[in-house]
Amino acid sequence: MTRHSTIRDVARLAGVSIATVSRTLSRPNVVAHETREAVMQAVLATGYRPNSLAVSLRRLEARSVVVLVSDISNPFYSDVFKGAEEAARAHGYSVLIGDLSTDPDIGASYVDMVRARRADGIVMMNYKLPSNIDDGFTFPLVYASSYDPKGDRPSVSIDYVAAAKSATEHLIALGHRRIAHISGELGAPSCRDKRAGYQLALQEAGLPVAPELDYEGNDTIDSGMAGIEQVLAAADRPTAAFTANDEMAIGAIRRLAARGATVPADFSVVGFDDIRFAAAYAPAITTVQVPRFEIGRQAMEMIIAQLASDALPNRTVQLPTKLIIRESTKPLRAN
Amino acid sequence: MTRHSTIRDVARLAGVSIATVSRTLSRPNVVAHETREAVMQAVLATGYRPNSLAVSLRRLEARSVVVLVSDISNPFYSDVFKGAEEAARAHGYSVLIGDLSTDPDIGASYVDMVRARRADGIVMMNYKLPSNIDDGFTFPLVYASSYDPKGDRPSVSIDYVAAAKSATEHLIALGHRRIAHISGELGAPSCRDKRAGYQLALQEAGLPVAPELDYEGNDTIDSGMAGIEQVLAAADRPTAAFTANDEMAIGAIRRLAARGATVPADFSVVGFDDIRFAAAYAPAITTVQVPRFEIGRQAMEMIIAQLASDALPNRTVQLPTKLIIRESTKPLRAN
DNA sequence: CTGTTAGCGCTTTCAT
DNA sequence: ATGAAAGCGCTAACAG
């Protein structure tokens, strides 16, 4: 394709040394006015762009960060990602994205990219660290939306326990007594937290925690369907369910309808995340709104700050959430 | 963070020259067995990884490609993206993603990245090229899902006209005569094509093409709502609508319900894309299935082939689609 | 089969 | 204020 011009071409054209060209571009005020003009003109004439690979090599920093996401097709993660990308661009960083949905251990190849200095750090939107992360090599990593159960790594997320608890309390306040829970993969700290919040609400209300009303799904519509099927098989049927994300809520409602039960008339459901399909579903889904974009933005800000200062910001920030009551929940009818 | 070892460290440890280390790693069979062993051992001992920035600088290729997507939160694009990412990784390329949803001219800064040799080319999932793409600088670019109306650029997409036509014909076969169309942004060739296919089906069936039944949306749930509102205001009301994507179909159905009309009993709707929420919606949406992942995969394969051979594959490939009939369409009741 | 050498394109002392 | 020179870490001739 088109031949690129290098700093040497510019220098030659402007009649100065390459050092002067470099200076003019990075610290214009240290070169003489007249020289600057000449260089700028040459830059324009040649269409010169500093080769960013060369700059990075010289400076020993890639100025890019990897974002590892469990499934970019999940509207929750894609919004977190957008926040991360925006923050990166604002700081002149580019983002390399790794989608873990086809094979979770793709993460390992992205860790290799930071080993190979192609990226400076990782923003982790999945709970499980890549398998090769701990053979004695450390680098900046911050969690976004997920977090480190050992608390060793910086993270930005939400208070999952509290959010799940309030979602469940909403159902309890509506008069429901037999409330099921369909969780995401319990390997994830966030999912364990949501489950804990659900159980806590039950306990505080003096309600029993029934194992047969607790199903481990995996955040997909399908697992929402399977989950509702399972909890409905309990001898003493539930009248409501708290699902750990909106997609599972959709699956649950859908399957309920297939079985002839209408939401919310016959059964109440509350979801989690408030993805944009939640409000548009029929019925519109009561759910927990989480500041996805902001989570991504702050996580990226955090890692870039760390990269710049070389100081480890061992911080854990939790952003606020909000229960959004819509149509999928209603008072338990006295029957 | 951790000091990285360089090729020099390995060479020293193995007692060979850096050239030998390099050779051992790239063409193991040209070095003596014994030397290879020694080098490999040193590599292991030091945890050496070739600095990929240095390699790229030397080879004058970034081995990464930019993917420009209009909105990564759109399930359609996120799946196309996944296909692209998988193909890239399979060839040892990394992908830099640029999301255009917040500001369409972010594309320009990504074009700058290929100018700055940080990326080798662009896979374009948006119809509108970045504004700075034509100041006399050319580079490999292939469209995915969108395409170049002038036919100048390689692309992989589908036959939008035919697909939209068959969707509309399905409605006609069901007895509908007043069929509305809610399109995406008509600046996009694909949206103009879908509209053309819709009109073609009407014409071939001897049906009038009514401007008042034609609404230009923008692929969002909201614009589906606005669109249905608009076409329903026509004097002679439509009984069905073909929307250019599933999100608009969801918006339309949702708004219809709010107005007391049930889909499909009172009104039929067919969408486009077959995103995973289409099947799970209530009612499940009749739509056109498009091979999203495959589109992304092939587009990426195409650009990588071009990068490797330096030959321009001025090809345009169209992948097959399929009408999926679900619950949102039914025969017009004789009334 | 292996080592020496010359860069890839850039930034940054160190002189001047 | 500017230039010369020394690399950043690597690959690829070219010798030997």
CB-CB: which of A49, A78, A137 is closest to B116? A49
Q: What is the pLDDT of residues A171-225, one digit of tens each?
A: 999 999 999 999 999 999 999 999 999 999 999 999 999 999 999 999 999 999 9
pLDDT, residue B44, reads 95
Distance A56 CA to D2 C1' (A): 25
The answer to whether the Cα torsion of B7, B9, B14, B18 is positive or negative is positive
Question: How close is the nearest chain A Cα to the Cα of B76, in Å?
Answer: 8
Span B213-236, average pLDDT: 97
pLDDT, residue A136, reads 66
pLDDT, residue B102, reads 87
Residue A15 predicted with pLDDT over 90: yes
Tokens linked to B269: 């709707």
pLDDT, residue A258, reads 93
Residue B334 predicted with pLDDT over 70: no
pLDDT, residue B308, reads 87
A331 phi and psi, to 5 degrees? Answer: -55, 140
Inter-chain residue contact A49 with B115, CB threshold 8 Å? yes
Residue B111 predicted with pLDDT over 80: yes
pLDDT bucket at A335, cuts 50 / 70 / 90: very low
Span B180-192, average pLDDT: 97
pLDDT bucket at B133, cuts 50 / 70 / 90: confident
Report whether B99 contacts B106 (CB < 8 A).
yes
CB-CB: which of A52, A54, A82 is closest to B73? A82
What is the CB neighbour count within 10 angstroms for residue A112? 15
B-contacting residues in A 150-209 (Cβ below 8 Å): none
Q: Does B102 touch chain A if contact means CB atoms closer than 8 Å?
A: yes
Q: Does A322 touch chain B if contact means CB atoms closer than 8 Å?
A: no
Distance B19 CA to D16 C1' (A): 15
Span B164-169, average pLDDT: 98
Distance B10 CA to D15 C1' (A): 24
Provide the mean pLDDT of chain B: 94
The residue of chain B nearest to residue A112, with distances taken between CA atoms, is B49
Environment class of residue A128 by beta-carbon count within 10 Å: exposed (0-12), middle (13-18) or buried (19+)?
middle
The answer to whether the Cα torsion of A134, A138, A142, A147 is positive or negative is positive
Q: Does B100 touch chain A if contact means CB atoms closer than 8 Å?
A: no
Q: What is the pLDDT of residues A254-285, one digit of tens each?
A: 999 999 999 999 999 999 999 999 999 999 99
What is the CB neighbour count within 10 angstroms for residue A185? 17
Distance A138 CA to C12 C1' (A): 29
The answer to whether B258 CB is within 7 Å of strand D is no
Instruction: Give the CA dihedral B278, B281, B282, B287, nearest 10 degrees.
Output: 0
Inter-chain residue contact B53 with A4, CB threshold 8 Å? no
3-class secondary-structure state, position A80: helix
Q: Find the residue closest to C9 using CA and C1' atoms.
A: A54
What is the CB neighbour count within 10 angstroms for residue A166? 18
Inter-chain residue contact A56 with B52, CB threshold 8 Å? no
The share of chain B scoring above pLDDT 70, in percent, equals 98
Minimum mean pLDDT range among A165-169, B32-36, B317-321, B331-335: B331-335
Span B169-195, average pLDDT: 97
Rounded to whole angstroms, the Cα distance separating A195 from A174 reads 20
Residue B289, beta-bridge partner list: B273, B322
Rounded to whole angstroms, the Cα distance separating B325 from B330 reads 10
Residues of B in contact with A47 (CB under 8 A): 135-137
Looking at residue B178, its amino acid is: R
Which element (helix H / strand E) includes B269?
strand B268-270
The share of chain A scoring above pLDDT 90, in percent, equals 89
Q: Suggest the residue from B53, B133, B273 to mutate for an interface test with chain A (most A CBs closer than 10 A).
A: B53
Inter-chain residue contact B51 with A57, CB threshold 8 Å? yes
Nearest to A164, CA basis, from A33, A290, A2 = A290
Q: Does A62 touch chain B if contact means CB atoms closer than 8 Å?
A: yes
Distance B114 CA to C7 C1' (A): 23
Residue B71 predicted with pLDDT over 60: yes
Report whether A31 contacts A2 (CB < 8 A).
no
Minimum mean pLDDT range among A297-311, B181-195, B227-241: A297-311
Question: How close is the nearest chain A Cα to the Cα of B206, in Å?
Answer: 36
Q: Find the residue closest to C3 using CA and C1' atoms.
A: B17
> DSSP letter at A286?
B
> DSSP letter at B282?
S
Tokens linked to A294: 């902001």
Environment class of residue B177 by beta-carbon count within 10 Å: exposed (0-12), middle (13-18) or buried (19+)?
middle
Cα distances (Å, whole numbers) of residue A217 to A59, A261, B224: 46, 21, 32
Cα distances (Å, whole numbers) of residue A147 to A127, A153, A155: 7, 8, 6
Residues of B in contact with A114 (CB under 8 A): none
What interhelical angle do A7-14 and A33-46 show, nearest 10?
Answer: 130
A40 phi and psi, to 5 degrees? Answer: -60, -40
pLDDT, residue A27, reads 93
Inter-chain residue contact B73 with A79, CB threshold 8 Å? yes
Sheet containing strand A64-69, strands side by side: A316-319, A155-158, A141-144, A121-125, A64-69, A94-99, B94-99, B64-69, B121-125, B141-144, B155-158, B316-319
Span B90-113, average pLDDT: 92
Nearest to A258, CA basis, from B277, B256, B279, B240 = B279
Residue B17 predicted with pLDDT over 90: yes
Rounded to whole angstroms, the Cα distance separating B12 from A335 reads 83
Residue B262 predicted with pLDDT over 60: yes
pLDDT bucket at A334, cuts 50 / 70 / 90: low
Return the ∠ at Cα A162 (arms to A182 and A78), rounded to 5°: 65
Span B147-165, average pLDDT: 93
What is the CB neighbour count within 10 angstroms for residue A316? 15
Cis peptide before B264 (omega within 30 of 0): yes
Q: Suggest the residue from A7, A71, A78 to mutate for an interface test with chain B (most B CBs closer than 10 A).
A: A78
The answer to whether B4 CB is within 7 Å of strand D is yes
Distance B19 CA to C4 C1' (A): 9
Q: Suggest the residue from B3, B43, B73 to mutate for an interface test with chain A (most A CBs closer than 10 A).
A: B73
pLDDT, residue B1, reads 47
Q: Which nucleotide is nearest to A17 (CA to C1')?
A: D3
Residues of B in contact with A54 (CB under 8 A): 57
What is the CB neighbour count within 10 angstroms for residue A333? 9
Span A293-311, average pLDDT: 92
